[in-house]
Each structure stands twice: as C-alpha cells, then as structure tokens.
Amino acid sequence: AQSVTQLGSHVSVSEGALVLLRCNYSSSVPPYLFWYVQYPNQGLQLLLKYTSAATLVKGINGFEAEFKKSETSFHLTKPSAHMSDAAEYFCAVRNSGGSNYKLTFGKGTLLTVNP
C-alpha cells in the first residue's frame, strides 16, 4: 500500500527565507504525487502534482517540487517565503493501479512565517 511521510509537523521560517517542506513516499509502482495547501478553516487547494512528465514540477504561488526516485522524495520548496504562505501543507500519493482512485495523505506540516 502507498504511504507518505512528512518530516516535521511544524516548520518556521523568516520572511524572505527558503521554504523546504519534506515528503517521502512509499509505493511499489511509479507514484502520482500531490501537494495541497490549507488555510485555517478552509478546504484544501492544489499546489502542484507529479505525474511522471517532468521531475521538477512548478505550482502556484511560486512553489515547486522535485521528484527524486532514488530518495523516494517529493520535497516542496519556495525560494523566498511570504507572510501569506503561512498555512498547513499536505503531501499525498495516489493508490496504484485499479479503477478505484484514492489518495493517501501525510499528516501535514504547519508552516509559520516570521516577519
């Protein structure tokens, strides 16, 4: 079964600093991977997704993620944090094969941006 592990339940950065949120996956087949963002008391918004077309995926709001098969990782980065980036971020992997499409989510990483 597929799974994802998000290292660090809480990450704190200064405004303008690099953002790095870590996600490692477990999958027996090439995975489909997603990053979502959630602002307080709201639903999840898709940031980006990896579907094997390119290992470096660019998303919305200046975020990008790199798929590294050798490290089974899909870390999310942003060169310069903005106050508006403060939110909770979730990594997710799609179940492999079959017609029943399901996502398995990590436990989330809360990003705090300090002025």
Partner 1 sequence: DGGITQSPKYLFRKEGQNVTLSCEQNLNHDAMYWYRQDPGQGLRLIYYSQIVNDFQKGDIAEGYSVSREKKESFPLTVTSAQKNPTAFYLCASRVRGELGTDTQYFGPGTRLTVL
In the structure encoding, which two tokens stand for residue 56, read together? 């470096």
Among 17, 22, 24, 44, binds partner 1 (CB under 8 A): 44
List all residues 6 or more positions away from 14 whose beta carbon is below 8 Å from its beta carbon: 81, 113, 114, 115
Residue 98 or residue 115: which is nearer to partner 1 going by CB? 98
- Residue 46 as a binder of partner 1 (CB under 8 A): the answer is yes
The whole-angstrom separation of Cα 96 and Cα 52 is 13
In the structure encoding, which two tokens stand for residue 101, read together? 């499409």
Contacts of partner 1 in 91-110 (CB under 8 A)? 94, 99-103, 105-108
Q: Which residues bind partner 1 (CB under 8 A)?
A: 9, 32, 34, 36, 41-46, 49, 51, 90, 94, 99-103, 105-108
